[in-house]
Chain A
Amino acid sequence: MTSKSFDRRSVLKMGAAAASLPLFNINHAWSQEVLFDGQAFDAGGAVLRLGEWGGTWGETVQKYLIAAFEKEFNCKVQYDSSWPWFPKFVAGGPEKPPLDICNWNVPEMVKTSKAGDYFLSLDEIIPNIPNGKNLWPFATANGVGVVWAYNQYGYAYRNDLVNPPPAAFKDLWKPEYAGKRGTYITSNGLQMDFFVTACELFGKDQYDLEAGYQAMRELMPAKISDFTGNMQTLMERGEVVVAVALDSDPLQARDRGAPIGFWYWTEKQPIISQVHTISRYSEPMQKKLALAFLDRVLTPEFLSDMGREFYLRPTIQNAVLPDNLVKAGVVNTADSTKDYWTPDWNAYIDNEDDIVETVNEIFGG
């Protein structure tokens, strides 16, 4: 006879299976081919589980996209902002995705896709979203998900406290910024791009980790921040005068009248991407809704709204840039986007434990 606990367990499992039975039409429902042609359809009140950022970001996506989307497709979008996503996907395995469509930054997404067959491939997505034809080539260069918006890397600086302003990637290492320069912890995407770029520019190539470590050692003393909100406060209080940054926040601060300047890295031009994936093992209806949602994300109207609110830049050729971005000198042309650099995140993730350990040691002194 089997043990008591085994019995209990199998009973529980049977109960769970019975409860979920009506959801499955046939075995492997997820293997059905899912198509979306751009036309609205009636989802019959189905629930789409969306993973996205929290706070005002969430409220803005809700306002400009989700409200209309729910009406158009007769569905309910369940907005989930309980990042990080990687552990939640991996804990359940590919066949039990916690979300149907998810927004990521590239490294975490690559890490998840390396851990298993979690996402639809770009070949399965792009033909099924009519607006996908407008994407710039860099939007699919990561090979896993669809980049719908991005920001570019550079240095933010206090233009009342820094003179001359930074004009080269290596300017952050100037002795006068000791203790007043800022970067982020290893789990923050800004530090990942900063580190890889330092490897590339101080060493032979982006795989030259030793050069990157040496650069981080020479960067000390520096202020290390957990997240961007904290760094903004440090700059606002003048405790950091120059920091690794995305263009969005400094441009916004400048328009608000704060004494903040921004310089784009020119030697290499990495970007931070907002990138969507669709879970392979979600139900067919959810997958169809996810495709529809991604298609509606890639519209000039929504991207223009997000650009106005967050200084996010669009990845589609037919985008209409909002006034604030135009005023900041942002352009959206084939020429302006051709030099964007997507580092080899596969290699980074393979070495992540070593990078995290070593950089922790350097930052921890």
Chain B
Amino acid sequence: MAPAPRKAMSEPGLWWLCLPAAAVFVVFFVIPVASLFGLSFNKSVAGVISYSNELTFDNFVRIFTRATYYEAILRSIWIAAVVSVTSLAFGYPLAYLIAKTTHPGRNTLLMILVLSSMQLDMVIRLFGLMVLFGDNGLINGFLLYLGLISRPLPLMYNTFGVIVGLVQITLPFMVLSLIGIIKAIHPSLEEAARSLGASRLQAFFSIVLPLSMPGILAGALLVFALSISSYVVPALMGGWKVIVLPIHIYQQIAEVGRWQFGAAIAVVLFVTSVIAVAIYHQAAARTSGGRT
């Protein structure tokens, strides 16, 4: 009868623990953001921030009738999804290696390498990526030298470049979301599978991967959220060839000053993300039995 005492122990008196964070979020997130979103139903005028009572859906009509905007919605979702999957594909093995590295010194070293890579500012990081991925960059230079290609590959200033930049930035978040859960999987489970004749990879796919699902889902969600809301990476790595929603938002808000329209695009991005996250939570609840 495990569930019963658990329910009794759920301590309804604990709600106050949530209060400080909830208060900060309501006052400084919900109210300001909702006020800004309210503007999206006003006519779009540069440099006006006050409300008028004349409500209109013009801003939303414009977003869904002009290709540059509705294509950006799909592009944003698509890029964030590809980045989540790519980050997982590269991040899981690294997280696995770190989780299985028991030597304390080596483990610390790996952790430091991952964490310090998060610490590099994007604008200066761009320089490092240019040196590597540019038309005359090290990668193209190397491939040309080997004679594998006859002209530089376009590795930057396109969708590929944006994905590279986003993976580079989000990979540590994925890795750190996975390490804990992989460690928590008891090695004896894997050993049991192997003693039954499974290969290391078979044991991994039948035992370890399913058990690490909550971490995979949490990490992918984090990466998705970070990717779909990023302005700096698409702006710097996309060479303005990859126009995503945050670029439109940034331009309307910081430069053109049509905040009503910028707010409308932000509403669309926000709703898109919330729907994506909700679908995701549903899927997560199914795969991990309600524990995400």
Contacts and interface: CB of A to CB of B under 8 A. Distances in A.
A111 B240 contact: no
Interface string B39-75: 0000010111100000000000000001110000000
B251 A363 contact: no
B241 A364 contact: yes
A223 B156 CA distance: 11
Nearest to A185: B240
A44 interface: no
A78 interface: no
Given A111-B257, A233-B130, A239-B134, A224 B46 contact: no
Interface in A204-246: 223-226, 230, 233-234, 237-239
B220 interface: no
A199 to B, nearest CB: 19
A16 interface: no
Interface in A329-363: 349, 352-353, 356-357, 360-361, 363
Interface in B116-141: 126-127, 130-131, 134-137
Contact of B236 (A230, A356, A361): A230
A226 B236 contact: yes
Interface string A2-13: 000000000000
Interface stretch (A69-77, A85-93, A163-171, A277-285): A85-93
A91 B259 CA distance: 10
Interface stretch (A112-120, A133-141, A260-268): A112-120
A84 B243 CA distance: 21
A187 B134 contact: no
Given A223-B239, A353-B258, A187 B251 contact: yes
A356 B251 contact: yes
Contacts of B236: 226, 230
A352 B256 contact: yes
A257 interface: no
B164 interface: no
A114 to B, nearest CB: 7
Tell me if A's interface is mostly helix, strand, loop or mixed: helix
Contacts of A91: 49
Contacts of A353: 44, 46, 256, 258, 261
A185 B49 CA distance: 25
B47 A114 contact: yes
B60 to A, nearest CB: 16
Contacts of B259: 87
B47 A86 contact: yes
B221 to A, nearest CB: 28
Given A114-B47, A356-B251, A237 B235 contact: no
Nearest to A183: B240
Nearest to B152: A239
A187 B49 contact: no
Contacts of A239: 134-136
Interface residues of A, number: 33
A90 B257 contact: yes
Nearest to A359: B240
B270 to A, nearest CB: 20
A345 B48 CA distance: 19
Contact of B241 (A90, A187, A224): A224
Interface in B228-245: 235-236, 239-243
Contact of B47 (A115, A233, A361, A364): A115
A309 B66 CA distance: 46
Contacts of A114: 46-47
Contact of B240 (A87, A115, A238, A363): A363
B36 to A, nearest CB: 11
A223 B152 CA distance: 15
B37 interface: no
A22 interface: no
A114 B47 CA distance: 9
A111 B257 CA distance: 9
B127 to A, nearest CB: 6
B224 interface: no
B255 interface: yes
A112 B256 CA distance: 11
A110 to B, nearest CB: 11
Contacts of A364: 68, 240-243
B157 interface: yes
In the complex, which of the residues B48, B67, B257 has the most CB atoms of chain A within 10 Å of its own CB atom?
B257
A87 B157 CA distance: 29
A356 B239 CA distance: 16
B253 interface: yes
B9 interface: no
B68 A87 contact: no
B254 interface: yes
B51 to A, nearest CB: 14
Contacts of A238: 136
A226 B251 CA distance: 12
B46 A352 contact: yes
B157 A223 contact: yes
Interface of B: 44, 46-49, 66-68, 126-127, 130-131, 134-137, 157, 235-236, 239-243, 248, 251, 253-259, 261
10 contacts: A87-B259, A111-B46, A115-B257, A186-B255, A230-B236, A239-B136, A353-B46, A357-B66, A357-B68, A364-B240
The 10 closest A-B pairs by CB, nearest first: A115-B47, A224-B240, A187-B255, A90-B47, A364-B243, A239-B135, A363-B240, A361-B68, A237-B136, A84-B254
Given A90-B47, A186-B251, A364-B241, 5 more contacts: A87-B254, A90-B49, A226-B236, A233-B127, A356-B256
Interface of A: 84, 86-87, 90-91, 111-112, 114-116, 185-187, 223-226, 230, 233-234, 237-239, 349, 352-353, 356-357, 360-361, 363-365
